[in-house]
Structure 1
Amino acid sequence: MHHHVRRRLGLACALALLCSSVVATDFGLPDHYEFNATLSVPFQVQAGGFPIRIDFDYPGAGDITRAAWLVEVLSPTGAVIGSDSGIATLEHGRGVRSGRWNGFANGGRSLPAGYYTVRLRAVPMVEVPEDARLSTEQRVRKALAVFADEVVEQNFDVMLGRLPKARMPAMQPLPTGRVSAAAIGAPVRAQSLVAAGGGLPYTIYYGNLHSQTNHSDGGTPVATCGGAEVPQAGTMGPADAYAMMQTQAGGDFLLASEHNHMYDGSTGTNTSASPTTANNLFNSGLAAAASYRSAHPQFLALYGNEWGVISNGGHLNIINPDGLASWEYNSSNQLIGSVATTKSDYAGLYAIMKARGWIGQFNHPASSGQFQINGVSLAYDANGAEVMVLAEVLNSSAFSTNTTMTETGRSSYESAWNKLLEAGYRLAPSSDQDNHCANWGLSFTNRTGVLLPTGTALTPAAFYDALRARRVFATEDRTSQLVLTANGRVMGESFSNTGPLTLVANYASTSGQSAQRVQFFEGVPGRNGTVTQLAEGSGSYTFTPAAGKHFYYVKVTQADGLRLWSAPVWIDQGGSTPADTTPPTVSASESGTSGSITLSAAASDNVGVSRVEFLVDGVLVGTDTSAPYAVTFDSTTLSNGSHSLVAKAYDAAGNVGSSSAVSFSISNAAADTTPPTVSASESGSSGTITLSASASDNVGVSKVEFWIDGVLKGSVLTPPYTLAFNSTTLSDGSHTLVAKAYDAAGNVGTSSAVAFTISNAPAAVERISNGGFESGTTGWTASSGVITSDSTYPAKTGSWKAWLDGYGSSHTDSAYQAVTIPSTVTSATLSFWLRVDSSETTTSTAYDTLKVQIRDTSGNVLATLATYSNLNKGSSYVQRSFDVSAWKGKTVRVYFLGVEDSSQATSFLIDDVSLKTQ
């Protein structure tokens, strides 16, 4: 578990946070570790000011790694009115700085009521001796300049004084998905939003689109999770994530977005990896999502990939992959995946995504240094503009262990989203949790809200269509909703406009929250400039835009400080292109009466058709975005008899043309209700083991899944049904294997459980001799009388123990043993049992101490592992243990040093000392 560095200072100016020392000039970040600095500031005054907290998290930090930070308070006009800076030490990769802004400007000048901005900029760095003569502020500003591409920027607006709430249009909430509605008490019946411009026939589904399971570096129970996790070492997989999001977090959807480069079980490249194993794991994830959707039709389980490396590229989610994109090859030059991509080649990736119909999300985008093309950060790419549909504006802490939705560590990426919009991307905002620990959806109340036409089934196809349409908003409050309309057009749309434009922030809350502040923002796509605030104070704003192309979005801050962001609308004001009001024309046809049938359409438009939707009996069943417009459809999901097909064609302006209804008939054979029969077997006890199954069916087996200890580990589509499996992902000991066989009708046969045993770890070797002291002083060097069988205090086991101090006067005792830790071991753990008996009555002062140390053979202290005192007194032995693998390859002394003051006896009793290596 990581220990936070927590300190607090009194304030000497308007803004004061803890300052430190040291800096850096030559520093490269490792690929797979993200430096994160999170700013936390309340929206309203608390105890006469604004408490400010900065959390630093950098799993790749070394002993000399530091974090340089600068916090500034900006006035409503953007002027800096207060600042503080410092250099934070990172202990186990983490650190904390705390302080307070008292609501005054530098010099104690009082400020008028208004909305002010607290801005953090931070970078990782290392100490450089030649900068020792610089002041802390100079070092910080130098680090920010040197590492400009690594700067993390966070902004929080705060409300100083009493300000009137925003004037919002009256409205009712839109209906929500059944899962989230049950969780938050929202309506589920179809309703229309009361807003200028008419009703909005949409249903909102809440969820998160960024999380990991044990297919990559997630799935670790919260009790043991707290930092960079080992790939595939977690105990919980996609099905566990979906179940937690649905049943505990009350979400309607979850995307398990596994790191694409970890399917070989490594953060680097495992040159011994099997492509078959990697692809089977990926395919098992797709199967797990499909299986969960089938069993829980009210919840949308999705499986995708987080592509890229964080520090020398940038992460993005591929939301709907049908193959594993990889740049890694094993020693046989085999791709460890199925779709070849080049590491950090974003232009190449965007082209592949477009060709394969994949869509994506920019994950926790930095304002600089990431998603580079030809050296340009956040670079525009025409293919990328088609396939990238979302950008995160907020994440809760990636390694949060919070399970009550109260996480305070949240990172904002609004500035990077604005830069991507200005570059020319059409991106809706999203709000995710990036869960690595097993608390999917439980870290905080933030969600991504997706709008589906009311009455449309929650299917992957319909959901992806909504993402492509950018009908999405981001929220920190799962009980609130925000839909931007522009002259009656819904957020996400692109259209031409003449004359005035009316923007309306359609906001609602099902938990009694209210909008304190509403801000409309404007930008110009392709300008690569700055997004600016257009207006605030009212939920409706009418104006006439300047000629040309623009985008507009709205941000609402609730009275409780939680924020919502709408997707933009994109308009072309005036110009040479008149508003397109002509809908496409479309006709539909169907072929086939059983099995897979084909739904087709012919569509045309005066400008161009953007997509065609196919609805069977009024339900959306598929979409095609390019001619010839056709989809294949599994008719076994329909009842035998007559059905109706309607095709809807859309253009880029949002005009819709509907075909006449086409009747067709379905006549499938009687349903197959006979499940396959299947038996399972396993061979091997270490390394790569083989999972096997024998399966048969009256019609045919479509796939066989292999489940270990109730967790899906892989699937095979064709006989022989065997799967090579890396047993090092399992703990040593007993496990159970179950095989599940499926047929085309969805019938499932389950094998009897087969028990097997794994034994990968080498036997532990004890390096301490006479650890229980039963042979007296053999192996130990100790003060006189320390190693004893005196019966005043019992030993933990046997009769002998080490008894340090207990005299009630100034006294020092010691006991040590020299131990050699081989350089070849993978782990080394020191443990012992300790009982502290003391006559001291204080509950706050450590008068008598026992230090557990590692010393060299000359007696020099290399490390003090722990210090115990009279404050640890108790009536029983407690086991203590420490990782001492840092000293492998050395001979060291395991040293116990007891120091007692001049009064009141404290006895330190030690037994069963052990140092085991593997």
Structure 2
Amino acid sequence: MDAAYASIPDHHEFDASLHVPYRSDAKAGAESRYFTMEFEYPYVTKEQSITWRLELLGADGRVIDHWYGVEKLFKKTVTTQFFWSGRGPRGEALKDGIYQVRLTAKATDTVALQAAPVADVATLVERALAKHDTEIITQSWPLQVGSVAAPKMPGFAGLPTKASKALSTASTTSTASTAASRQTVAGAAPPPVAATASLPYTVYYGNLHSQTNHSDGGGELTSCVGAQNPQSAAYGPTDAYQYALNKGLDFLMTSEHNHMYDGSDSTNTSANPATAKNLYQSGLAAATSFNSSHAGFLGIYGMEWGVINNGGHMNIFNSNELLGWEYNSSNQLIADTFTTKNDYAGLYTLMRQRGWIGQFNHPSTSGQFLVNSTPFGFTADGDQAMVACEVLNTSAFSTNTTETETSRSTYEGACNKALEAGFHVAFTTDQDNHCANWGASYTNRTGVLLPTGAAFNTANFIDALKARRIFASMDKTSQIVLTANGHVMGERFTNSGTLTLVSNFASTSGRTASTVVIYEGVPGRNGTVTQLSSTATTTITPTVGEHFYYAKITQDDGNILWSAPIWVTQSNSVDTTPPTVSAGESGSSGTITLSASATDNVGVSKVEFYVDSALKGTVTSSPYSMTLNSTSLTNASHSLVAKAYDAANNVGTSSAVSFTINNPTSDTTPPTVSVSESGSSGTITLSATATDNVGVSKVEFYVDGTLKATSTASPYSTTLNSTTLSNGSHSLTAKAYDAANNIGTSSALSFTVNNTTSTQLITNGGFESGTSSWTASSGVISTGGSEASRTGSYKAWLNGYGSTHTDTLYQQVTIPAAATAASLSFWLKVTSDETTTTQAYDTLKLQIQNSSGTVLATLATYSNLNKGTAYVNKTFDLTSYKGQTIRVYFVGVEGSVTATSFLIDDVSLIAQ
């Protein structure tokens, strides 16, 4: 079976995405921009007509303008761009402000659509969208017109992150003069700031949804165009964790499809249950092993349960056993525990009994997670088991590794439906990576808040998910934290009187908030979430009853953040009785445990732990306990106090408990390191030799004082594209770190770069920016489909229809008159169903034309006789055209019977 058709039940669904530039990149004063729509329907067996409607909405939700279209789709992903003038329907200038662009799209069998009465495009589209016989996709993105005043935001310096903590530790380590002084500095609380003094949390960023070769993921980037045959790809969980770590993620979950552990997308009746169960256990072991040797990173292994068809995918984060419904020919269950396919109510009950938690993955507003035929049907067990809902995903089959993927989908409407049904879920954003680019396709991250000082381990991470201390961000450098009357997002509490909601925002990359919205809903109402306010700080008196609130912030670059909701039970009664609480501690070195027993006449909402009067962490559910790295405290006697809060914010304080820390003497010896370099042009190699009395944890390479790469294993080396450096002399140094964060720095080494100056004349030669800079027939420049690009996601695909057809592709360039050489190259792959070895029925010509379209030369002609299985490089000397403006022109002509595809990628024209 072809890899592209490996996972039909799991990926056979229509999908539509919309990319809207938040701000125009045109010249000053112009608001025009392109809206990019991408339509995909993997494994569809008949040609589909995609009917779509684009609408421009004002701030009040009113439709200002609309446009319609129909696209034909079959096998290939279809990408189309719509040019918007930046003006209203009558050509008038729009008022400065924030607008929304909304896409509504639907796939209909082309034959069925053609059988409908003849109508203009608008009528045809509206008529098709009025029928809810197939899935209708809605996507909406904001855009800014003109100048918009930024909202007033509360002072918020941002919570510490793993990166900021590491930087702080490195700084204090390098300046402390003794081991004792280092321990004192490391154990001190971070400098207080008004907005964060009551928020003792550290933010960890990562991805909670991806696949490896334990199911249908892990595909090689150069050939990955879709889901892989189960267990066939090159890369497994350990590869994924290392890749994500290298890309700067703090955590990654590999969530494998539960029904593929038999090595099949259907049911493998010859499967050995022991093999399937052992594979799942090997994944759990791989995560444990990787975490033990990579402090500061958390690999999570679990399953993606269910199928799309009449079901819905959901992650189970912490199951220690494989769940399934498939049996082999000997009637043996190919799993540890039987779960009925698509029985979500039964699965929720099992999860609640076992203490497992889950996430709704890329949910739809209809037809998924059915309980008693109701989408997002609520059960009390489900409310305990489900903690998260994906609000945004990037393309599952993206091969982008530069965090610039534009194909992404939002599911806020579906997540709101879950919240209104009564589920207490927080928003996440993931990448659903099936190709080997875990966490690298875009800058989106899920942020998880752990108590500052708590060990970054699986137990504490799961506790944070259970507490719903989560936010979703399209920007890995930003964070959003919603608070209400001293409570933090994720909490549930009872309130009387006024309620003040505060949307806190911070960015370490200089981004600012463009808009902020607080939304309100009612759990269990099954109604509609509504906008409460457009201010960061909002004070209201809620009506008596149940409510939830969440904040949504759009940055000045259009990237969006969603806070976790906060759930409020509004009451008229006033509780004045504080909780009673007692504290305890165990351990004197390594990981110690702080614990508390707390009771209240109404209910305990949270317990805070203070060591020597410094807040170390907060726990919101029983049992009230947390772990703490003892090296953050000095070797001495310390005092522990616990504070217990109820929903009315009454506080009970425990008696002080004394305990002693006795850590082994710290390692204070830095590594020794020396460097070398080889090469002066092209790809150069930077190398280091490093030793330490205990062990080297990593080596960093700096060129002219700028960090270029990090190596975590010997031999310590990296390669560098020398064209990123100027011609001339440069300085190389290396820093070697040990586990105690001692740093050794090498002597500086001088080396020289001498690259030949060359100019790339072809723009967007890999087609990764779609049709930008190219003129092509409809559908030629595309991503997806059964044919892979050579690199990246896009390629040019000419012909392949099996009918009389002509496709063209060209780009116009000017070769400088002063050029001494001009070399054209491209990669070509020819696939054909023709069997002849003598007749050229289908042809591709490479021509050079002048700017008027006159053919100056035909450089080469290819045909079905050149078919093969791989891309082949073609090069041509164009020096004779220097000083001329020419078109590099491809024309593919296909006969009427048998299909031949001409695939072109990575076009380059280098002038020297």
Question: TM-score interval w.r.t. the shorter chain?
Answer: 0.5 to 0.7
Looking at structure 2, the residues matched to 181 and 137 of structure 1 have their Cα atoms a distance apart, in angstroms, of 57
2:288 alignment partner AA: A
Q: Which residue of 2 aligns with 1:695?
A: none
Aligned match for 2:579, one of 578, 583, 586 = 583
Listed as ranges, the matches of 1:802-813 within 5 Å are: none
Corresponding residue number in structure 2 for 1:882: 831
The corresponding residue for 1:289 is 287
Deviates more, 1:262-271 or 1:443-452: 262-271
Q: Name the structure 2 match of 1:564.
A: 561
Deviations 1:202-251 (A, max 9, x none): 1111111111111111111211112232221221111111111112x211
What is aligned with 1:896? 840
Alignment of 1:310-321 (within 5 A): 310-321=308-319
Q: 1:415 is paired with a residue of what secondary structure?
A: helix
Q: CA deviation at 1:278?
A: 1.0
Return the letter of the residue paired with 2:159.
L
Question: Residues 342 and 648 of structure 1: is their aligned pair in 2 closer, same or farther, counting only changes over 3 Å?
Answer: farther
Q: Which has the higher contact order (CA 8 A, sep 6+)?
A: 2
* Structure 2 residue identity aligned to 1:219: G
Is residue 97 from structure 1 mapped to residue 92 from structure 2 by the alignment?
no
Give the aligned residue type for 1:150.
E
SS at match of 2:601: coil
In the alignment, what sits opposite 1:756? none
Secondary structure (helix, strand or coil) at the match of 1:137 reads: helix
Once the two structures are TM-superposed, the CA of residue 113 in structure 1 deviates from its matched residue by 2.2
1:660 Cα deviation from its structure 2 partner: 6.2
| Mapped partners of 2:640, 2:441: distance in 1 | 43
* Contact 1:69–1:87 under 8 Å retained in 2: yes
Distance 1:631 1:875, change over 3 A: closer
1:105 CA displacement: 3.2
- 1:293 deviates by 0.8
Distance 1:602 1:366, change over 3 A: same
Give the stretch that moved more between structures: 379-388 or 196-205. 196-205
Task: Give the letter for the 2:356 counterpart.
Answer: W
Residue in structure 2 matched with residue 545 of structure 1 by the alignment: 542
Kept in 2: contact 1:551–1:570 (CA 8 A): yes
Shift of 1:418: 1.6
Map Cα deviations across residues 653-702 of structure 1 (whole Å, 9 max, x no partner). 787877668899999xxxxxxxxxxxxxxxxxxxxxxxxxxxxxxxxxxx
In the alignment, structure 1 residue 35 sits paired with structure 2 residue 14 = yes
- C-alpha distance 93-911 of structure 1, shift in aligned 2 (>3 A): closer
Q: Conserved in 2, the CA contact under 8 Å of 1:210 and 1:317? A: yes
Aligned: 1:165 with 2:150? yes
| 1:883/1:642 CA distance change after superposition, 3 Å | farther
Q: What is the one-letter code of the residue matched to 1:164?
A: A
Return the alpha-carbon distance in structure 2 between the equivalents of residues 94 and 852 of structure 1: 15
Over aligned residues, Cα RMSD in angstroms? 4.7
Structure number with bigger Rg = 1
The 3-state SS of whatever aligns with 1:561 is coil
Q: Say if 1:279 and 1:337, in contact at 8 Å, map to a contact too.
A: yes
1:203 corresponds to which letter in structure 2?
T
Q: Percent identity?
A: 50
Encode CA deviations 1:795-828: one digit per residue, 9 max, x unaligned. xxxxxxxxxxxxxxxxxxxxxxxxxxxxxxxxx9
Amino acid in structure 2 at the alignment position of 1:271: T
Contact 1:171–1:193 (CA<8 Å) still a contact in 2? no
How far apart are the structure 1 equivalents of 2:210 and 2:163? 22
- CA displacement at 1:63 relative to structure 2: 3.9
Q: How far off is 1:57 after superposition? A: 2.1
Whether 1:46 and 2:25 are equivalent positions in the alignment is: yes
Identify if the C-alpha distance between structure 1 residues 664 and 898 changes in structure 2 by more than 3 Å, giving closer, same or farther.
Answer: closer
Whether 1:70 and 2:14 are equivalent positions in the alignment is no
Pair 1:256–1:182, CA change in 2 (3 A) = farther
**Partner Cα separation in structure 1 for residue 135 and residue 562 of structure 2:** 25
**Residues 167-205 of structure 1, C-alpha deviation per residue, up to 9 Å, x if partnerless?**
11222121101389669x999985367456953211111
SS in 2 for 1:279: helix
CA contact (8 A) 1:205 1:451 kept: yes
Q: How far did residue 648 of structure 1 move?
A: 8.4
Map residues 346-365 of structure 1 onto 2, 5 A cutoff. 346-365=344-363
| Greater mean deviation of Cα atoms: 207-216 or 261-270 | 261-270
2:570 is matched by which residue type in structure 1? Q
For 2:488, the equivalent position in structure 1 comes to 490
Q: Deviations over 1:701-728 (max 9, x none)?
A: xxxxxxxxxxxxxxxxxxxxxxxxxxxx
Instruction: Say if 1:226 and 1:495 are closer, same or farther in 2 by CA, change over 3 A.
Output: same
The letter of the residue matching 1:143 is: A
Secondary structure of 2:528's counterpart equals coil
* Contact 1:172–1:192 (CA under 8 A) maintained in structure 2: no
2:97 match: 114
Residues 852 and 485 of structure 1, relative CA distance in 2, 3 Å threshold: closer
* Distance (Å, rounded) in 2 between the aligned partners of 1:530 and 1:72: 21
Query: Where does residue 163 of structure 2 map in the other structure?
Result: 178
Letter in 2 for 1:45: S
| Residue 392 (structure 2) pairs with residue 394 (structure 1) | yes
Q: CA deviation at 1:566?
A: 0.9
Q: Distance in 2 between matches of 1:90 and 1:350?
A: 38
Write the distance in 2 (CA, Å) between the matches of 1:135 and 1:347: 46
- Asked if 1:574 corresponds to 2:606, the answer is no
Bigger drift between 471-480 and 891-900 goes to: 891-900
Output aligned runs, 1:154-303, within 5 Å.
154-178=139-163, 190-191=189-190, 194-195=193-194, 198-247=197-246, 249-303=247-301
Please report how far the alpha carbon of residue 626 of structure 1 lies from its aligned counterpart in structure 2 after TM superposition.
Answer: 6.7
Please give the alpha-carbon distance, in whole angstroms, between the structure 1 residues aligned to 2:517 and 2:294: 39
Tell whether the 8 Å contact from 2:155 to 2:195 is kept in structure 1 after alignment. no
Structure-to-structure mapping, 1:292-691, within 5 angstroms: 292-536=290-534, 538-575=535-572, 578-579=574-575, 582-586=578-582, 604-608=599-603
* Residue 868 (structure 1) shift: 12
Q: Is contact 2:467–2:491 with CA below 8 Å preserved after alignment?
A: yes
Unaligned runs of 5+ in 1: 3-28, 668-827, 830-850, 855-860
Which whole-Å deviations, capped at 9, do the CAs of 1:40-85 have from their partners, x for residues lacking one?
A: 1011233232321111122122341232222111122212121122
- What letter corresponds to residue 443 of structure 1 in structure 2? S
CA separation of 1:156 and 1:333: change in aligned 2, threshold 3 A: same
Alpha-carbon distance between aligned partners in 1 of 2:171 and 2:475, rounded to the nearest angstrom: 13
Q: Structure 1 residues 49 and 642, CA, compared in 2 at 3 Å: closer, same or farther?
A: same
Q: Is the 8 A contact 1:31 1:312 kept in 2?
A: no
Instruction: Choose 608-617 or 385-394, whichever is displaced more.
Output: 608-617
Deviation digits for residues 703-754 of structure 1 (CA, Å, limit 9, x no counterpart): xxxxxxxxxxxxxxxxxxxxxxxxxxxxxxxxxxxxxxxxxxxxxxxxxxxx
Over residues 284-311 of structure 1, what are the superposed CA-to-partner deviations in whole Å (9 max), with x where a residue is unaligned? Answer: 1100110111001211111111111123
The match for 2:135 among 150, 167, 183 is: 150
Relative to structure 1, the CA distance from residue 212 to residue 915 in structure 2 (aligned partners, 3 Å threshold; closer, same or farther) is closer
Aligned residue for 1:807? Answer: none
Q: Which amino acid aligns with 2:126?
A: R
Change (3 A) 1:456 1:626: closer
SS in 1 for 2:115: helix
Does structure 2 retain, via aligned residues, the 8 Å contact 1:326–1:339?
yes
The CA deviation at 1:390 is: 0.9
Separation in 1, partners of 2:107, 2:455:
47
**Partner SS for 2:420:** helix
Rounded to whole Å, the distance in 1 between the matches of 2:39 and 2:171 is 37
Q: 1:535 to 1:642 in 2, by over 3 A?
A: closer
Deviations 1:366-406 (A, max 9, x none): 12222121221122221111111111111111111111111
